Amino acid sequence: MKILAFAGSTSSTSINRELVKFVLKSFQDEINLIDLNDFDIPVFSVDREKKGFPDEAHRFLKVIEECDVIICSLAEHNRSYSAAFKNVFDWASRINVKVFQNKPMLLMSTSPGSYGGGNVMNTAKTFLPNFGADIKETFSLSKFYENFDLESGVINPEMLKDLNQKIGSFKNQTKS
């Protein structure tokens, strides 16, 4: 099983990337952990689209094509997707509306606040399936700095139990 993993953030200190890296420790499959910083794409506009699609948008779709499952954690900026994720997504969706190509997905979010990226999670749960995301499980980690340690991972016992159950369910549903 080939896993594509990423955080919907370009921050060098992304807490969503830390959550993804922690979750990946539960898998022994082939893992492709990508960084959205590696997809340097101009801001989407119809005018730029008329000049052609950036190679990096095609490359993003290719890494999705080459995987069996997707694990991602979306950063929440002003109650929605980060501009970086949205831009890569916008370009890719103009090439292939089914960006996520019906791949099973473990969708996560985290934030420093008590809602754990709940706004972006709620949007993504309803929106991403229209673009080929087969969301099997979701997990939001609230109060990241209180419930996560960079060395130990999720340190809140109840949240860790919930996350492990969702990882187990995801593995069962995808045979990972």
pLDDT digits (tens, 9 = 90+) for 13-58: 999 999 999 999 999 999 999 999 999 999 999 999 999 999 999 9
- pLDDT at residue 175, rounded to an integer: 85
pLDDT digits (tens, 9 = 90+) for 112-128: 999 989 999 999 999 99
Structural domain that includes position 90:
2-174
C-beta of residue 104 within 8 angstroms of C-beta of residue 132: no
Cα of 101 vs its chain's centroid, Å: 14
Where do the H-state alpha helices sit in the chain?
A: 15-24, 46-49, 55-65, 83-95, 118-127, 144-147, 157-174
* Percent of the chain predicted with pLDDT > 90: 97
- The dihedrals phi and psi of 68, each to the nearest 5 degrees, come to -100, -35
Q: What one-letter code names the amino acid at 25?
A: K
Instruction: Report the CATH number at residue 86.
Output: 3.40.50.360
CA angle, 116 as apex, 17 and 145 as ends, to 5°?
65
Global pTM reads 0.96
| Confidence band of 176 (pLDDT split at 50, 70, 90) | low
Number of domains making up the chain: 1
Q: What is the mean pLDDT of residues 63-67?
A: 98
Q: Facing residues of 78 across strands?
A: none
- pLDDT at residue 153, rounded to an integer: 98
Q: Facing residues of 33 across strands?
A: 5
